[in-house]
Chain A
Amino acid sequence: MVVHLYGVTTPDTKPPPEVKGRQDGELRLVADDRLAVIVSDVDPDAPAARKDLLAHAHVLEAYAEEATVIPMQFGIALPDDDIVREQVLEQDPESLADLLRSFDGLVQLTVQAFHHEEAALREVLRRRPDLVAARERMRSFPEAATQARQVELGQAVAEALEDLQEEDRLMLLDDLAPLTRAVAENDTGGAHEILHAAFLVEREARPAFDEAVAELRRAHEERMRIRYVGPQPPYSFLEPMRSGELTWD
Chain B
Amino acid sequence: MGLITGLLTLPLAPVRGVVWVAEQVKQEADRQWSDPATIQAELADIEAMRESGELDEQEADAREEELLQRLLAASPEQSQSLNPWAGVDDA
Q: Is there a direct interface between A and B, measured as CB atoms under 8 Å apart in the complex?
A: yes
- A2 CA to B18 CA, complexed, in Å: 12
Task: Report A-chain residues with C-beta under 8 Å of the C-beta of B41.
Answer: 189-190
- A156 CA to B55 CA, complexed, in Å: 35
Q: Is the CB of B51 within 8 A of A91?
A: no
Q: How many residues belonging to A are interface residues under a CB distance threshold of 8 Å?
A: 33
Q: Is the CB of B65 within 8 A of A96?
A: no
Q: Quick one: which of B45, B61, B85, B90 has the most chain A CB within 10 A?
A: B85
Task: Return the contact of B3 from the options A45, A87, A95, A225 (Cβ within 8 A).
Answer: A95
In A86-127, which residues have CB < 8 Å from any B CB?
Answer: 87-88, 91-92, 95-96, 99, 114
Instruction: Scan B48-91; emit 1 where CB is below 8 A from any A CB, else 0.
Output: 10010000000001001100110000000001011111111011
Task: Report B-chain residues with C-beta under 8 Å of the C-beta of A238.
Answer: 3
Nearest-neighbor residue (CB-CB) of A75 within chain B:
B81
Known: A92-B4, A92-B5. Is A2-B88 also a contact (CB below 8 A)? yes
Q: For this complex, into which size category does the number of interface residues on chain B fall?
A: 20 to 34
Q: Which of A46-54, A159-167, A175-183, A199-207 contacts B (4 or more CB under 8 A)?
A: A46-54
Spell out B's residues near A (CB within 8 Å).
3-8, 12, 15, 40-41, 44-45, 48, 51, 61, 64-65, 68-69, 79, 81-88, 90-91
